[in-house]
Structure 1
Amino acid sequence: MPGFKRSEVEPTVLFKPWSPVLLNLTEYLGRRIRLEFTTNDCTFTQHFGYVYLDVTENCSHPVTGNVICPGVAPITLKTLPGFNEYEWFDVETKKLLGMADSLVLPASTPVGRQIAVKLVPYPGLGCIQTLYTTIQGPKVNVNQPPPECVFVDITASSITAGNLPDLKYSYWMDAAVTIPLTNPKNITKSGSYYIKGQNSPGCFAIGEVKVIIVSPPPISITDPEPVNYPETIDITTSYIPEAGLKYSYWKDLKVTVPLPNPKAVNRNATFYIKVTNIAGCVTVAPVKAYIIYPGIVIPNAFTPNGDGVNDVLTVLIDNSIKIKAFKIINKWGDVVFTSTDIYNYWDGSWNGKALPVGVYYWFVDGVDTSQRKVRQSGSVAVLK
């Protein structure tokens, strides 16, 4: 078999370097493939053949070293080792340039020159293939970051993805790279910034990165006019909507508890409107709903079955009344719920366990603005 050599360490040993086979698998992207290899053993049980697989990310050009610093230093093109023969040549002139697995080009080699290398395998171990590469000057590809609300980190690997791996980056305020950027990980102002990529020979290129910091979306709230119970308030009419913004409605300032029906609010409270723009920036604004109640209003039934409808016992009360105690009692006289917060709605449970259907009794004890006692009671049916 061709390609064997005599060992310089032990003359009785013949060996053969790796015999590479180049496979372009780009048409199989996303698919699972199986490769089978047959080894040509020299002598049964005395020697064995084996294979290594090397997967390169640069599928289209498995030739390295093609970036030159014009007039500064020569470059060395390298391709896959282990083929029987190599032929490097200029694509335009067809001039033969070298016959090893690497090729040194002078510093005067112009950018844009195309070089090809013909890979000739050992007989019976593959087909002749020709690889092409173009001599390039140093460059920095910049993937522009999306608009952000607070800051942009231009040192993120996603911004310089696709560049040659030997580049070292620095960050600058100006295109002439005279003013360093002090905190490239936390840019809070929109504008153009610059990334300088420098390779090991000292050549560099500059890429522009455009940072867009989006302002929080605006919203101006006008509290709705008070209404008399049983009228409700539509808090979605408390602002003028703008195109491209998304509005949502919440019970709390941290916007963790959604307001189920913002078009029909039936109790006095401060609610919150969350505005989100296309970049994900958020503004939260309060809106006050005021309903005038004739004293205390409590429904005579509710259904705590977890379906999201009428699951709690809502208590509607005139703002002039301050609650000292609100109690729920079962038919045996046990206090199953008590609170001084009238908006701490009862969910039909006692000590964490759901109570059976039936009639329960409520008692309210409070005072009005004149410190006169306000006491009221009634019954409520728990249904399922």
Structure 2
Amino acid sequence: MKADTARASHAAGAELLYEWKNDSVYTVYLKFYRDCSGVDASGEIIVEYCNTCDASRGTITLQRMSTLPNGKPNGSPVAVGCSSYPTSCDDASSELPGYREWWYSDTVKLTKACNHWTFSTSISARNKNVNLSSNITTPLYIEATLDNLNAPRNSSPFFSVPPVPYVCQGQNYSYNNGASDADNDSLSFEMISPMEGKFGDCGAGMDIPFTIAASPPLNLTNNPFQTNNTFNLDPVTGQMSFIPALIGAQAITIRVNEYRNHKQIGSVIRDIQISSLQCSSSQPQTNIDTTTLQKDSVVSKTIQVCADVPMQFCFDIKSPEKDAVLVVTDNHDAVIPASNISYSANKTDSIRACFSWTPTLADVGLKIFTVTVKDSTCRPPGISIAQTFTYPINVRSAQSSAYDTAICKYDTITLKPFVGNKFEWSVQPGGSLGTLGCVFCPNPRVWPATNTNYLLKTDVNAFCGKNIDTVKVSVKQEVPDLPSATSNTPVCVGETIKLYGSDMTNGGYRWHGPNGFTDTTHNPLIPNVTFANQGQYYIQTYSYTSQCPSKLDSTYVEILPIPRAFFQYPENICIDQVATIRPDLDYNSVYFWDFANAAKVDTSKLNIHYLAWNDTGAKNVILRLRGVNGCYSYYDTGMIYVHPLPEAKITEISRNDICTGDTIEVAALDIDGYHYQWAPAPYFFDGRSAATKAVVTQKGMLLLNVTDQWGCFASDSIYIVANPCCDVYLPDAFTPNGDGKNDIFRVITEGHHLLSKFLITNRWGQRVFETADERQGWDGTFHGLSQDVGTYFYYLRYKCSDDRYIDKKGEITLIR
């Protein structure tokens, strides 16, 4: 389940830790503190991890553990309430908040040695806190960082004291998280803003603003929640003290930074919720019995002790309440496991405790010993208010100069004395004075080839009783032989650099080179290279046993330019149409073409090629160049779509018996996207439509041209036989009797000729009718008088559409 998309989980706090297992494998732990109201804790939580070296990232699914490391069931209460005052862990209806501690874990193998890895997760949903401006749905974000390049076997710091859930309003309170480090690295503490985040934003937590209306204003220095500026955090010991001013839940976040050889190698944060209640429990106090300490052994509230020298001190814990039942716990098993502590008069109002220990040289450094005291008399409101007291113990070497140390063969190191103003260095017998950088200086650099003892004389006595001391520099001789670095140089742009290192047994590899390149594999590959990858690549091997590195070897990788392939092409052509391809000219390169099985190819010209296909479909033309340096260009491709010819078909003519001058209807196959053109253009009413009309003036071809949306062209035609149609018809009798039937004698056929003369004579040759208008005819009268029944004679002259003149004569019978 993604933590930031879970159901509301009432998140009160959390911390994310890691433990080195072997090689590059780590166990990641999530400690989640949630209040007892609401839904059950999730069975799994997803943690993201990422680095800043090559942007590698991934996720691991942490599973809920069955038991805690102390043997208690997972999900046990952080602080047990009193039987007469149950918390919400015991009784869901209780107004007294209760909290449970849930642990999750899983292992992960990191893919690369990098100086900045981040583990992070966001848990939904953070409880409402009076010092934050966010609402209850804001995810609770936590993270831990790791440098497995400079500290490949490092485990994170851990917290040995449970988070404080309850404090009393208006009472002075002291607390320490009991941070410790299994690798004995140096720690520092800082207050940071509580953060929120979301899944997918590895290492990108965002600060949650403080409540703006707070007075005095909230800040990270002395008022991260409302304490009236009484909050104090010791950056060396992590000890906190404050007087809470407001009732309610307050969120604070502590970051613990981890250092080795003055270089930060990791960090963890603890986000916790403090519940400030209205209560009147008097808090116990503690005091060190200074008579049990060595003289002048307390410096800046830190107990100074010497390695290999037994030490002891006692302290008293006393409550102002006479009926108090004080219960004391401490973290000595976690941070100083070889020490002993005894308590007398436990579960009374006054307890005597004595701590004893003989530290060794391996313990040199600061130890944060904490003692947590609570009064279990369960005064109202029914919870035990616990105080945590800190006794910082600084273990110093019994030497006055600097710690003994170990280096690898061929390395150098700077010696750093603890105290003194004047210094004189020398080399003890067996060593070489030539390995000492200076004599009268505070911090000489030394480079011994074998184990060497350096003698230091100072002008002051060291705490442990010497002003003349020996610093032993042990030299690890197990240094790998000089490795050999080779490559496949030169490499063309876009190809893969192949680096080769000589074989190494019982050891690892460290590569670095241009453009921020680092790698820990034997023979790394760098794909898709550019000119930024050109340069010197260095290899260094190191021993798994001694962690000592070899000297560096390197190989220079040259990156060669590649030619540029480019050509212009038409995106759409018609079948059998010629496509013109125009490549950019590069006289220094060889051209490699794939013409997609074109039926016709003409490459006779260098800068222009002609292609044609006799089938339709998408044709992918590909060009690649090979330069004079042997490097191939990237492919350039051009997709040419070959389209079929449109379907041009005259489908309809309104009639076949066509006379010259007739109007006919014609039609073609009508398809969307086609453009039509009829010819001869003067014939047609609309020469651009699939269906139109035409006036036939003579016989000949009617032509249809069709073009589709791709410009492809097809045509169809039909031959039109147009006759002159010049014969005229006249009846051989007519009956002008006024019945409206056959009363007029005239030319019956119209439209294909031009009448010149039409006349009628009687049998004596007298003209009884004459006209040049074929719409007129003889009604059987002459000068208004009806003519006799009998035979009459007509003469007709007309011009045909083909410009011929025709004369026609005949007889007509007039019948009454």
Above 0.5 in TM-score? no
Larger radius of gyration: 2
Pick 1 or 2: higher relative contact order, CA cutoff 8 A, min separation 6: 1
Higher relative strand content: 2
TM-score normalized by the length of structure 2: 0.19
TM-score normalized by the length of structure 1: 0.36
